[in-house]
Amino acid sequence: MSFVPGQPVTAVVQRIEIQKLRQGNNLILGFSIGGGIDQDPGQNPFSEDKTDKGIYVTRITPGGPADVAGLMMGDKIMQVNGWDMTMVTHDKARKRLTKKNEDVVRLLVTRKSLEEAVKQSMGGFPRP
C-alpha cells in the first residue's frame, strides 16, 4: 500500500457501513484509530510501509458496532463518508468519525488480504 508521490493511490477497498450506537450522550463506533500525518509512522504495527501516515484501526471492541459491521483490526481507513483519510492529522480523523449529527458512517477500508484475494482471482485468467 505504498504510494508513489505524484501518482494517484490505488487500492482494493471494502465498503463498510457502521451504525453508531447511542450510549448516554455519546455516539460510539466501537474501535480505536491510530496514525495521522502528525504522528510517528515508524511505530505503527499494522502498516507494511513504515512511512505510511494513514489512519489505521488499532482496536475493536468485541460486539460493538464496528465489529458487527465487519471492520477488522489493522485496516487502513481510506475514506469516511466521502472524506479522504489518507492525508489527515490524527485529530481531523477523529472529528470526521465522531460527527454528532451523523448516525451512520460509511468507510472505505483496505487490508492486505483484500489485495491478495483479488490477485488470486485474477491470476487464474491469462491476460489477453
* Contact set with another protein (CB under 8 A): 28-29, 31-34, 38-40, 43-44, 58-59, 90, 94, 97-98
Return d(Cα 48, Cα 50) in angstroms, integer.
6
Closest by Cα among 58, 33, 60, 36 to 46: 58
**Residue whose CB is less far from another protein, 12 or 46:** 46
- Least separation in angstroms between CB 42 and another protein: 8
Say which DSSP state 8 is in.
P
- Least separation in angstroms between CB 34 and another protein: 5
- Least separation in angstroms between CB 72 and another protein: 16
AA identity, residue 62: P
Cβ 65 vs Cβ 21: under 8 Å? yes
Return d(Cα 64, Cα 25) in angstroms, integer.
17
- Least separation in angstroms between CB 114 and another protein: 22
AA identity, residue 88: V
**Residue whose CB is less far from another protein, 53 or 111:** 53
**Residue whose CB is less far from another protein, 29 or 108:** 29
